[in-house]
Amino acid sequence: MSFFTRIVIFLALVVAMPTEAEASRVSPMIVELEPTGRGSIARIDLVNDGLRDIPYEVQMMRGTITPEGELQLSPADAEFIVFPAQTIVESNSQQVFRIQYVGEEALARSQVYYMSIRQIPVDFEQNVSQIQMVVNYNVLVNVVPDGTRAEPAIRSASLATRQIPGPRDPDDADADAPMVEQRGIEVDLGNVGSRFFLAGLSDWSITGRTTAGEPFEMTLEGDEASRLIGVGVVAPDANRLFFIPTDTPLDPQSIRVTVEP
């Protein structure tokens, strides 16, 4: 699983197309907590704009992100107090969830967690045929002690290609989109600091020379990078592989990348 919008939303659609309009939204999707004191508490709002009452349950998870962007979760309920842990959010209403970190206080580096808000499937009446959509949200929760800082470190930057869906055949709506090759730069970005950073919300600078000897420069400021790589969480002592598309033919030995969180 990867990070793919600016606000780090992970939606699991178990079955599609509800019979009645159902819509919910969660904010914020990124939370930063301190290990102790008032800063160890946060509130997350869930709004149910749909026509049904929807039951939810909450579980806190420790998050590990592989270099390829796969999210691996393990239970961490003992490190948090959550209220309510289960609830029914009525139609056209709002529910406030409160979380408090109660884990280790003497942290040397920031820790990555996720608040998993899961919709509980509802049993329908017998002999009633309905289709139900189940939506899960993962809220990124970073526990950050004082005095920590992120230190991006470019481990490598090289030319690469990847396969992406191409244009569909307009005369065959049922056909899968053909895969096409996309060229770009693969960046192995590490974090040698003690605080997480969001590569997709950082400022990027990529320079080099084209194969014709012309200077090349690409800058990604603010949230521009998120449109290419998602939010891009890089935890302390971890690294991520990011792909930056470009059709410009480059001298691979000339590529230089800097990232400022």
Q: Walk along the chain (261 residues) and give the pLDDT tens digit of each residue.
A: 333 333 333 333 333 334 344 578 999 999 999 999 999 999 999 999 988 899 999 999 999 999 999 999 999 999 999 999 999 999 999 999 999 999 999 999 999 999 999 998 866 556 555 555 678 899 999 999 999 999 999 999 999 999 998 888 777 777 788 899 999 999 999 999 999 999 999 999 999 999 999 999 999 997 899 999 999 999 999 999 999 999 999 999 999 999 999
pTM across the whole model: 0.83
CATH number attached to the domain at 152-260: 2.60.40
* Rounded-to-integer distance, Cα 94 and Cα 7, Å: 20
Task: Go through 142-169 and write b for each residue having 16 or more CB atoms within 10 A of its CB, e for each that does not.
Answer: bbbbeeeebebeeeebeeeeeeeeeeee
Domain with CATH 2.60.40.10 in the chain: 24-143
127: DSSP letter: T
Residue 93 CB neighbours (<10 A) = 13
* Rounded-to-integer distance, Cα 110 and Cα 259, Å: 20
> Residue 184: what residue type?
G
Q: Which residues pair with 55 in a beta bridge?
A: 88
CATH number attached to the domain at 24-143: 2.60.40.10
